[in-house]
Structure 1
Amino acid sequence: MGESAGVLLTPSEIADLAGVTRGAVTNWRKRPSDPPFPDPAPESATKPLYDLEKVIAWLAETKPEIQIQRDGSQAALSHSLNALRGRVSTAVAGELALALCCAKKLSMEAADGNWRLIAAASTSQTVDVLRRISSDTATDPRWDDILSALDDVERETNGRLDTLPMAAMVSAVDGIDVDRLAVAADEVLRRGGGERGRAAGYGVGEHGIVNSRVSELLSNLASSTKGLVYDPACGIAEALIRTRTKCGGTVRLVGHDINARAIRFARMRSLLHELDAEFECGDVLHEDPDPDLRADTVVAEPPFGMDWSRSQNIADPRWVFGIPPANNSELAWLQHAIAHLKPNGSAYVVTSVAPLTARGSSASIRAELLRSGWIEAVILLPPKMLPHTTIPLALWVLRLADHASASNDVLLIDASESENPEAHALSWLDDCLTGSAAGAPPFELIKTLDLLADDAQLDPRRWVKTPGSDPKDVAARLADSQHVLENALATLLDHAVVPMPQGPSATPRLLTVKELVQLDVASIQNGRVKRDDLDERDAAALVTPNEVRDGLPVLDQLPIDAQPNLVGGRDERTRVGDVLVTTWNVVRAVVDKQGGRLIGNGVYRLRVDDKQCEPNYVARCLCGTWNERFKKGATIQRVDLRELEIPLIPLSEQARLVGALREIEQLARQAAAVAEAAAASATAILDAVRYDAPIGGDE
């Protein structure tokens, strides 16, 4: 079978294939070309999919300069799953892809020729051939997960597996070298998690993400392990697989998880990665699956805030530090990790920040952990360590101290502003504990006694000094703030004369924008360009309502004048002097001083005859208080741009008034600078008092 036989691509996958932006693909699809861009597959009307072979042929003919991003069929396996869209869930489609990779791996290991039978089978026969081979090799339990995957597919198709278009998937697997099957399978999981978010990625997203930052963090911390690594909430085994890769052949892996499909994924992935690992499915908190297991290192990213039924096992010996709250299991996971450590073992557990500060029984458990000498460090992690949530996370480093004592130090690190904690956490722990942490984030070594006196609060932000809290730094900041305030005030006083503009020589003629249009003095264009329809350069020139509000950015590269228009042959680009307006909630207007921009949704372009109207005068009048009476709507108010009134005066007087307004606006900016500098100075004075820095004559 050919690499691309029957493979369908989404527009995003076409962009990856061609090494271009999504906007460029949208332009290819919408703009005329010879030959035209391929039509989408008939069965993908709502979410278009495109035949890979036809796309490659079109690129070769119309875009010969583009180098197709070939990858030895690894991405083709992910692409082939598009053919199953709407027929089975993404979870089952991903599971089927992994099962086929495992079938090829097992067949090639045994050199039994079974994969050739699978690859040669027709679409309607593929599943039957897989089942027959699985039955014939019943002595190898690794085929059980393949059979389970087929059972899942059968349930979703009501027994009609023969109707699935599996040719592209089998073809893709057939084209992958055996030593690259693991990479291809991981790509399936990575793309699935990236497209649908962790909670939906192929149905096991909540049990791990391929290439997640948290898994990278845990595997780096466990990278020096020589014995047993245990993950009690292993999910798809991402942390264990990464740990094994970094430790080499010196570790044994054990994983538990409550989700049967996640365990099945973990076993299939470890088969493809050629790992010696043991996995078991079960509710770990309800019943310890292996009470005698002792690990050199425990890594865990357990569920956050999970409700658990403590009433069923309150006598469990693991809860030696206290019964965790029923509505929050994270302190139970910490105790489970400790219960399974060897005497000199270490546990690295990632939780939400809630267990660091929760009151009641949570505080009692933290206190017992501190008294027993188990908490070596807590690191506050930055946001977005997980792609699907901004929940702040914390890393607990659990290791029994040589001698439990109230004088023991606990390391608290505030890495909430760090860019790459997964790469540096291990060195931070070593350097901060030994006093050589030159490049570490803010940290403090706090005595256990002090922590216990404050309800065992462990949030590093409560204890770590903020940057710049050193008295010398505070004193310098105070001096700088006073200097800035003096300069800002001097600048304001230099312009203390309020300009008094001369009024118009005649009564203004009040005209609406609609009347200006009827008199051919102005024209209006409603912005309709969408960012997804643009390539990278044009996207930088797109004007959105936010940019009208905040000010137009300077364009580094003006578009080429000869570039074809985007919509209906109209002139879509702005010119110098165009007034760009938004009318939702508050009327805002800005004059384009560069031109060459594209108008996005929610933005109007008002182009005026500059021999009769000064654009800056028009922009200011549109925002006049008299136009507020035209607002309509209960929740989101808006106005009709055509109804807004412009008090028209002679052109020379428009320019004179604009000049006076600019002087007043400059005065307002200088006054704002004084207010900002005064606020900074007041903050510095209070900081100086707090951190005992010299103030004024005390210096």
Structure 2
Amino acid sequence: MAEQDVPVTLTLAGIGRLANVGRAAVSNWRRRHDDFPAPVGGTDSSPQFSLPDIEDWLRRHGKVDDSVSGWNWLWPKVEDLGDWERMGLVLAAVGSELTGVRPEGREQAGLAALTVDERALVREARTLAAEDQGSNGFGLLRHRWLAVQNRQVAALPQPLADTMAALAAALRDGEPVERVLDPTCGVGLLLEAAARKWRECGSLQLTGVEADPVLALLTRVGLAVAAPAARATVLCADALLTAPPLPAPVDVVLCNPPAEAPGWSATELAADSRWRYGLPAQGDPELAWVQHILSALNTTGVAVVLLTPSVASRRSGRRIRASLLRAGAIHGLIALPAGAASPYGVGLHLWLLRAPGSRTPESPVLFVDAADCRHTSSGGQSVVDWDRLRERALAAVRGDAVTRAAQVPRAQLLAEDADLTPTRQLAWEPPATQVDLGRSWAVLDQAMLRVRDGMPSLRSLRALDDVAAAESPRVTVAELERLGALTVTPGAPLPPGELRRGFRPADAIEVLLLRHPRHGQEEVPWLDSGEAARLDSAGLVPLTAFGDIIVSSYAAEHEVLVEMHAPRALGAGLFRLRTDPEQLDPFYLASCLRLSSNAWRAGSHARASARLNVRRMRVVQRSLMEQRELGQMYRQIAEFREAAAAFGAAAAQVDEVLGALLGDGRLQRGS
């Protein structure tokens, strides 16, 4: 077969990955540079460009340099194959070349079927490795492949894989670990996490089982790179259907079994000896995996298994769950936040299992709800807080007092249809008391007083007629910036590793994120003061000063405030407007920018997450004396708004306490 003449193509996002910029930056290059290569395919909304043309343009314009690894240029050629399985075969062949791991059995057939073009990619990878680029190139290619093939190949985030290994170590309670198994290992990420956790063990034996020969070879290659000192065995088989024999029972099983098993047949395997706790129903393959895992453990073995939440409560599995409880096989369950792993729309569960007989059947079952372990990233997105999740889960396994965790007697669980959903087993907040009721009324009275104090001065204000307001001349923020009346500075994403959470020292610099311009977050992020000063002086992350105006860039969450608690660092999605007080009053400017009509005029409205163009916002032109008078009115309005919001929050708290007391039947009318 001759090599194809069709050029390798890139999308805008692919070009951004090569140049280490975002898709928007590449779009700006297209608009600003007449010599930017023309698309060779795709559509208007998703154009495709020739890789050689793009490489030449990026180098000529200094957008990339020699620090960009040759592996980065190789990846678009691999991705251009299109088919995830063909891409996986090329990666497996590359890994085999770099590590010397030879394909075995069914793995050989796939590599023998590589096309001429695919073999050329393998030779290019071999050349890169010979140039001392190192076998780390395989890791880069595998990472990119998993990122674009996440629907076909389930890849656990490394923090979750490491957390599962840490939990297994905590369950072992200091006992040595020599044998680790993953019976459905995919590309071996859990086995690599085990290698990191127990790397000091000189006799560590890692065993993986994977039905797909390409993934099996990728696992062996990955382990050769990540854990060259460990003894690794990867069996190419379907662990659930064929149950290949293991060298010996294992100390630890880490597993993320598929929620669906197309080849699973309860009828064909009805007489299998693994079903000690009951024959799983056809729709319960995950409980078949649980029993298969327990059959692989030695007498002191433990397992950490990632399962969908329905397994804990599905009626068809209640008899098996009850049998597992009676045998003492279930140590506990941990509810994870949605987004921790695929499928990302639901909160998955970690099942902590023990070999039956390793503890008394009367021991309680541990339940931990970690679904609230989230925080807002520097880009304004809600993401999993892996550090807090890991700390809570490990502390609960150690037996420490932990919020949202409980030990529940097995007898109680058996009396409740063996429903193991963590949130249903945890007690909510302590019952409300008369002290809570009195405290909530006191807070409401204080908030009401603030509202009453602010009302007289505002009641005296009168509205002008519409004609007078409409005739007032207006100027945009961009024009004010050109006149030197203000400067506009965008916030920026925080460098990885610099954003801190938890206990905040007195001199730390608070960080404002997109969802945190006014009301704060559950846990306020911060920067070290010295690091914040360095980032500000380098122009990487701006700091605020008293009187700055902070504007959020999302039209749907339009918010404007005058900075009263400086200095603070601004994250991505926020803007700092700093005025010249001899030309522009900041409080007056905030009153103009806060208008909803301004947000509508400055927004793109192309999608739900439309951004605002701050420089398009308009301000009514007035003399400095008029600005200061109106600015003082705005301060009074802002204080009243905050007082009203505090009153609403206090009223909601009173409502919550009264409702809790009434629901418990502990409320009566006073005499």
Question: In which range does the TM-score fall when normalised by the shorter chain?
Answer: 0.5 to 0.7
Aligned ranges for residues 166-565 of structure 1 at < 5 Å? Answer: 168-176=124-132, 181=135, 183-193=136-146, 195-196=147-148, 198-199=150-151, 205-206=153-154, 208-209=155-156, 211=158, 213-214=160-161, 216-218=163-165, 221=168, 225-245=176-196, 246-247=198-199, 248-272=201-225, 273=228, 275-290=230-245, 294-306=249-261, 308-358=264-314, 360-386=315-341, 389-400=344-355, 402=357, 407-418=362-373, 419-420=386-387, 424=391, 427-428=394-395, 431-432=398-399, 437-438=400-401, 440-466=402-428, 469=430, 477-497=436-456, 499-501=458-460, 508-509=467-468, 511=470
Q: Which has the larger displacement, 229-238 or 612-621?
A: 612-621
CA distance in 1, matches of 2:221, 2:334: 33
Distance 2:355 2:548 in 1: 71
1:446 is displaced (CA, Å) by 1.3
Cα 1:310–1:78 change in 2 (3 A) is farther
CA contact (8 A) 2:259 2:307 kept: yes
User: What is the identity, as a one-letter code, of the residue corresponding to 1:491?
Assistant: R
Q: Distance in 2 between matches of 1:101 and 1:485?
A: 66
**Alignment-derived partner of residue 684 in structure 1:** 657
| Equivalent residue, structure 1, for 2:544 | none
* Structure 2 SS opposite 1:420: helix
Q: C-alpha displacement at 1:445, in angstroms?
A: 1.6
SS at match of 1:315: coil
Cα distance in 2 for partners of 1:581, 1:231 equals 46
- Tell me, yes or no, if the aligned pair for 1:489 and 1:674 is still in contact at 8 Å: yes
Cα offset, 1:220, TM superposition: 5.7
Deviation string 1:7-64 (CA, Å, 9 cap, x unpaired) is: x99433443xxxxx659976996799xxx9997799872778436994898778xxxx
- Which has the larger Rg? 1
Structure with the bigger RCO (C-alpha within 8 Å, sep 6+) is 1
- Name structure 1 gaps, 5 residues minimum: 1-5, 16-20, 61-67, 108-140, 537-543, 564-575, 638-643
Q: Once the 2 structures are TM-superposed, how far is the Cα of residue 339 of structure 1 from its aligned partner?
A: 2.1
- Residue 349 of structure 2 aligns to a residue in which SS? strand
Q: Which amino acid aligns with 2:161?
A: V
Q: Secondary structure at the match of 2:164?
A: helix
Equivalent runs, 1:131-142 vs 2, <5 Å: 142=103
- 1:357-408 per-residue CA deviation (whole Å, 9 max, x = no partner) reads 22x2222221111122211222223444337724312221222454987743
Q: Would you say the 8 A contact 2:91–2:142 is kept in 1?
A: no
| Whole-Å separation in 1 of the counterparts to 2:278 and 2:249 | 21
The C-alpha deviation readout for 1:56-80, integer Å capped at 9, x for no partner, is 98778xxxxxxx869xxxx543542
Local SS of the residue matching 1:314: coil
Figure out how many residues of one structure are paired with residues of the other and give that number.
Answer: 589
How far, CA to CA, are the matches of 1:59 and 1:294 in structure 2? 52
Cα distance change on mapping 1:695 and 1:230 into 2, 3 Å: farther
Separation of aligned partners in 2, 1:256 and 1:217: 18
Aligned: 1:45 with 2:49? yes
1:442 partner amino acid = R
Q: Deviations over 1:565-587 (max 9, x none)?
A: xxxxxxxxxxx999999998999
Offset at 1:683?
A: 2.0
Alpha-carbon separation, structure 1, partners of 2:491 and 2:621: 40
**Cα 1:654–1:199 shift into 2, 3 Å:** same
**Pick from 11, 16, 34: which aligns with 2:16?**
11
Relative to structure 1, the CA distance from residue 240 to residue 581 in structure 2 (aligned partners, 3 Å threshold; closer, same or farther) is: closer
How big is the shift at 1:240? 1.9
Structure-2 change in CA distance of 1:382 and 1:214 (3 Å): farther
Q: Is contact 1:221-1:425 (8 Å) kept?
A: no
Q: Is the 8 A contact 2:585 2:631 kept in 1?
A: no
Displacement of 1:685 after TM fit?
Answer: 4.3
3-state SS of paired residue (2:340)? coil
1:101–1:173 Cα contact (<8 Å) kept: no
Cα RMSD, aligned residues only: 6.5
Structure 1 segment 548-587 matched on structure 2, within 5 A: none
* Partner secondary structure for residue 285 of structure 1: helix
* Cα distance in 1 for residues equivalent to 2:190 and 2:465: 78
Rounded Cα–Cα distance in structure 2 between residues aligned with 1:238 and 1:584: 40
- What is the correspondence of 1:144-159 to structure 2 with a 5 Å cutoff? 147-148=108-109, 150-154=111-115
Shift of 1:530: 14
Shift, 1:92, TM fit: 3.6
In structure 2, the gaps of 5 or more residues are 1-7, 41-47, 374-385, 483-487, 496-512, 521-531, 540-546, 611-616
CA spacing shift, 1:500–1:692, aligned 2, 3 Å: closer
2:76 to 64, 67, 82: 82
With normalisation by structure 2, the TM-score equals 0.65
Aligned equivalents of 1:412 and 1:454: distance in 2? 15
Query: 1:530/1:340 Cα in 2 relative to 1: closer, same or farther (>3 Å)?
Result: farther
Shift, 1:103, TM fit: 2.7
Give aligned-pair identity as a percent. Answer: 19
Question: Of 622, 636, 644, which residue of structure 2 is paired with 1:671?
Answer: 644
Preserved contact between residue 231 and residue 255 of structure 1 (Cα < 8 Å):
yes
User: CA separation in 2, counterparts of 1:501 and 1:660?
Assistant: 11
Instruction: Give the 3-state SS of the residue equivalent to 1:497 in structure 2.
Output: helix
The 1:27–1:232 alpha-carbon spacing in structure 2 relative to 1, beyond 3 Å, is closer
Cα offset for 1:330? Answer: 1.5
